[in-house]
Amino acid sequence: MKNIAVLGSTGSIGVQTLEIAREYANEIKITALVAHSNIELLEQQIREFMPRLVCVYDESRAKLLRDNIKDLPVRVMTGMDGIIACATAEYADMVVAAVVGMIGILPTIEAIKAGKNIALANKETLVTAGHIIMPLVKEKNVDLLPVDSEHSAIFQALNGENNKSIYKILLTASGGPFRGMKKSYLESVTAEDALKHPNWRMGPKITVDSATMINKALEVMEAAWLFNLSIDQIQVLVHHQSIIHSMVEYVDGSIIAQLGLPDMRLPIQYALFYPERRYMKLGERADFIRIKELTFEEPDMDTFYGLRLGIEAGKLGGSMPTVFNAANEWAVARFLEGKIGFMDIPRLIEEAMRSHKIIQNPSPDEILNTEKQTYDFIEEIVKS
Ligand code: NDP
Ligand code: MG
């Protein structure tokens, strides 16, 4: 039996993780669930999977949930202490880190310290704290298994090969809903337009990140940490059909790719059962006669210049990726509320990056301080 804690169980990745747990109920036991405030869905999940511990980050929502599940022997905690308790409880072997945003950093660090294997969806963790996470994973000898589809593809294409044999990574991108559009058009697009992703159904934040292509910048940084590569070894390639999830080009020119339909349950299931492969009971399978063609384009880094800024932040390193990520989190939240425009997202990130003095090897506290300072800085410039 695998004992698994799911952080972010009410989100897109969390729900799909539980679909797999349902299909493999005789092999997967859910020990803990974490959400922010969606207690209606969380209650359904609790009644189905009967974890010992849950956390609702929002205190008032947690109180309501406690009342609603009085009949069950389940402990309800709140806040960061509650998330960390769920991530470190002794009865879990693996933690699925699928909360959205920088709130995911500390629980992941604590879970690794507690010796848990990690199935990592939350990309903000490696982007901002890769220099802390990667040595810790080594020290604690735990598995860090990527859930993000591109990183799972690279991990599968590597399959034990020495990373010195890697010439480069071809990191594929769908291009999002605005592929081929120009800046003047993008100035006036709305959150509703940005949320219409052509290939993937995901949470709102990452869907907007796909539309700006900032998601790909975060993934470049994530891949550099996971596979111990320089940013220059990672080439972003627009592949509109999202069938090739990424490729590894080896020093001898050989290229190995991982392919499949765009369905996150595949990389999630791969991480949950690694190193075994299991029959996929859910969804369709790829049919190349129907797919017909796979196409490739260079990304338009002039229009989608958030991608260029992210690559620059990754090369600068230290606390700069945190500034890039925090500025993006702030801007995406305001864009989703209709308070700023789509092209304000890269504009604000650029201003925040230009005003930041880099801290090398930031500690978790310095990362969180940098996040706060970035929020304060942007709030000031948006006000003025
Ligand atoms: P969603 O927005 O769908 O879900 C986010 C989850 O995190 C929800 O369960 C939410 O709870 C919870 N959450 C948010 N804030 C807090 C908090 N303060 N405390 C506790 N829980 C919190 O996001 P996704 O599932 O799309 O993405 C999750 C992560 O995985 C992101 O980092 C994303 O970049 C990454 N990822 C996602 C992919 C996808 O296909 N969706 C693909 C690759 C990576 P509530 O519902 O109660 O608000
Ligand atoms: Mg991805």
Question: 54 is in which domain, residue-wise?
Answer: 2-146
Residue 218 in contact with ligand 1 by CB distance below 6 A: no
Burial class (CB in 10 A: 0-12, 13-18, 19+), 236: buried
Residue 307 domain-assigned (yes or no): no
Q: What is the pLDDT of residue 162?
A: 84
Residue written as tokens 């000898």?
Answer: 141
Residues 94 and 164 in one domain: no
Residue 312 domain-assigned (yes or no): no
**pLDDT (tens digit per residue) in 197-221:** 888 889 999 999 999 999 999 999 9
Is-contact 191 274, C-beta < 8 A? no
Angle, alpha carbons 74-85-44 (nearest 5°): 35
339 token code pair: 């308070």
Asked whether residue 125 carries a pLDDT value surpassing 90, the answer given is: yes
Residues 40 and 91 in one domain: yes
Q: What is the pLDDT of residue 174?
A: 96
Residues 11 and 138 in one domain: yes
Ligand 1 atom closest to 201 (CA)? 40
**What phi and psi, each to the nearest 5 degrees, are found at residue 7?**
-95, 115
Strand 244-250: give its sheet, edge to edge.
234-238, 166-173, 244-250, 255-259
Residue 133 domain-assigned (yes or no): yes
Residue 59 CA to ligand 1 centre (angstroms): 18
Is-contact 373 366, C-beta < 8 A? no
**pLDDT (tens digit per residue) in 272-322:** 999 999 999 888 999 999 999 999 999 999 999 999 999 999 999 999 999
**pLDDT (tens digit per residue) in 356-379:** 999 999 999 999 999 999 999 999
Residue 366 domain-assigned (yes or no): yes
Residue 120 domain-assigned (yes or no): yes
Asked whether residue 384 carries a pLDDT value surpassing 90, the answer given is: no
For ligand 1, atom 39, the nearest C-alpha belongs to 202
Residue 309 domain-assigned (yes or no): no
Residues 166 and 135 in one domain: no
Q: What is the pLDDT of residue 219?
A: 98
Residues 205 and 223 in one domain: yes
Residue 30 CA to ligand 2 centre (angstroms): 25
Residue 180 domain-assigned (yes or no): yes
**pLDDT (tens digit per residue) in 172-193:** 999 999 999 999 999 999 999 9
Is-contact 358 318, C-beta < 8 A? yes
CA-CA distance, 311 to 220, in Å (whole number)?
7
Residues 10 and 121 in one domain: yes
Whole-model pTM: value is: 0.97
Residue 176 CA to ligand 2 centre (angstroms): 12
CA-CA distance, 331 to 377, in Å (whole number)?
12
Residues 120 and 219 in one domain: no
